[in-house]
């Protein structure tokens, strides 16, 4: 379970555009790391490169290393499908599979991976839904379509779906930005619990959220339009929000820009 991530000199390109410049950071296991920074600074791009999801975009490529417990996920011998099975992801907008029921959504990763045993799948579905704090709300309508849930419930369904395949790391790309405050609170509480089992990296625009849920915070920024984004600093969340090492970080978190 929960593994550590080490990013070393990571450069990310979209075609000729240099999107992210030389990022180096470390994410310890069983912790929450928050990525903050203004729009377009590359924090989502860095997140998506942690499970090789960014290469789904045509023309995207990386240079540098991403190590999962010391193993380079960009080594030529590594299958990106295996990487994504180990490093799960939750997206900005809830995206349950519209053709599937709630239960089938949760176990989609296992079913498509070849697991057939109905009893086992039902167990995983219940465990994952309990893990995502959704079981109580949906246990009586598991056969209803996933699209019938509210936005907040859908997002927790997506989290249940992501943890059902038992990844080592969970990446979250602004998981609460489409949700109301109550659903946001539910997800934040959930992140606190998931931290016991998973390594979590979360991108957020909400600095209070970063301060509430994360153990360490990374601040990304970009020098100007068309310039690559870069990591300004990464440190304990408490230190970033009380006594940041860089002026730019302080300006950003105190609302002087961005």
Partner 1 sequence: MTTTASTLDRPATPPAFQAVGGARKFKNILATVLVTLAFLIALVPLVWLLVTVIARGFEAVITADWWTHSLKGVLPKEFAGGAYHAIIGTLLQTVVCAVIAVPVGILAAIYLVEYGRGRLARTTTFMVDILSGVPSIVAALFIYALLLSTFQMGQSAFAVSMALVLLMLPVVVRSTEEMLRLVPQELREASYALGVPKWKTIVRIVLPTALSGVVTGVMLAMARVMGETAPVLVLVGYSKSINFNIFDGNMTSLPLLIYSELNNPNPAGQLRVWGAALTLIILIMLFNLVAALVSRFSAIKTK
- Binding residues (CB under 8 A) for partner 1: these are 51, 53, 56, 58, 81-82, 84-86, 88-89, 91, 93, 95-99, 108-109, 112-113, 144-145, 147-148, 158, 161-162, 165
Tell me how far, at minimum, the Cβ of 160 lies from partner 1, in Å. Answer: 12
Bridge partners of 65, per DSSP, are: 8
When the beta carbons of 158 and 190 are compared against partner 1, the nearer one is 158
DSSP 75: S
Which tokens sit at 161? 């779906």
When the beta carbons of 26 and 112 are compared against partner 1, the nearer one is 112
When the beta carbons of 100 and 248 are compared against partner 1, the nearer one is 100
Tell me how far, at minimum, the Cβ of 110 lies from partner 1, in Å. Answer: 9
When the beta carbons of 176 and 232 are compared against partner 1, the nearer one is 176
- Phi and psi dihedrals of 148, rounded to 5? -85, -10
d(CA 110, CA 115): 6
When the beta carbons of 44 and 249 are compared against partner 1, the nearer one is 44
When the beta carbons of 27 and 163 are compared against partner 1, the nearer one is 163
Tell me how far, at minimum, the Cβ of 242 lies from partner 1, in Å. Answer: 35
Which tokens sit at 88? 């799960």
Tell me how far, at minimum, the Cβ of 237 lies from partner 1, in Å. Answer: 26
When the beta carbons of 4 and 85 are compared against partner 1, the nearer one is 85
d(CA 208, CA 33): 14
d(CA 138, CA 29): 31
Cβ count within 10 A of residue 50: 21
> Angle formed by the axes of helices 151-164 and 118-131, to 10°?
130
Tell me how far, at minimum, the Cβ of 2 lies from partner 1, in Å. Answer: 17
Tell me how far, at minimum, the Cβ of 257 lies from partner 1, in Å. Answer: 31
Tell me how far, at minimum, the Cβ of 136 lies from partner 1, in Å. Answer: 21
Which tokens sit at 223? 């020098």
d(CA 54, CA 61): 8
d(CA 192, CA 152): 17
Check: CB of residue 235 under 8 Å from CB of residue 41: no
């Amino acid at each position: 379970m929960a593994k550590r991530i080490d990013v070393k000199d990571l450069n990310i390109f979209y075609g000729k555009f240099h999107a992210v410049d030389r990022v180096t950071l470390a994410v310890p296991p069983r912790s929450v790391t928050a990525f903050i920074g203004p729009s377009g600074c590359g924090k989502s791009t860095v997140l998506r490169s942690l499970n090789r999801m960014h290469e789904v975009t045509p023309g995207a490529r990386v240079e540098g290393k991403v190590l999962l417990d010391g193993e380079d996920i960009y080594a030529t011998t590594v299958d990106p499908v295996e990487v994504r099975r180990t490093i799960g992801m939750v997206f900005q907008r809830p995206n349950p599979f519209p053709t599937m029921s709630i239960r089938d959504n949760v176990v989609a990763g296992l079913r498509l991976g070849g697991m057939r045993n109905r009893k086992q799948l039902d167990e995983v579905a219940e465990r994952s839904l309990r893990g995502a704090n959704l079981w109580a709300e949906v246990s009586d309508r598991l056969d209803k379509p996933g699209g019938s849930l509210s936005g907040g419930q859908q997002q927790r369904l997506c989290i249940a779906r992501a943890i059902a395949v038992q990844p080592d790391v969970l990446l979250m790309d602004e998981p609460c930005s489409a949700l109301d405050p109550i659903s946001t609170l539910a997800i934040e509480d959930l992140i606190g619990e998931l931290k016991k089992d998973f390594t979590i990296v979360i991108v957020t625009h909400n600095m209070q959220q970063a301060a509430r849920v994360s153990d360490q915070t990374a601040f990304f920024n970009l020098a100007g339009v068309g310039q690559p984004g870069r990591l300004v600093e990464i440190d304990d969340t408490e230190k970033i929000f009380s006594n940041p090492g860089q002026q730019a970080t302080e300006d950003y978190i105190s609302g002087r820009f961005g």
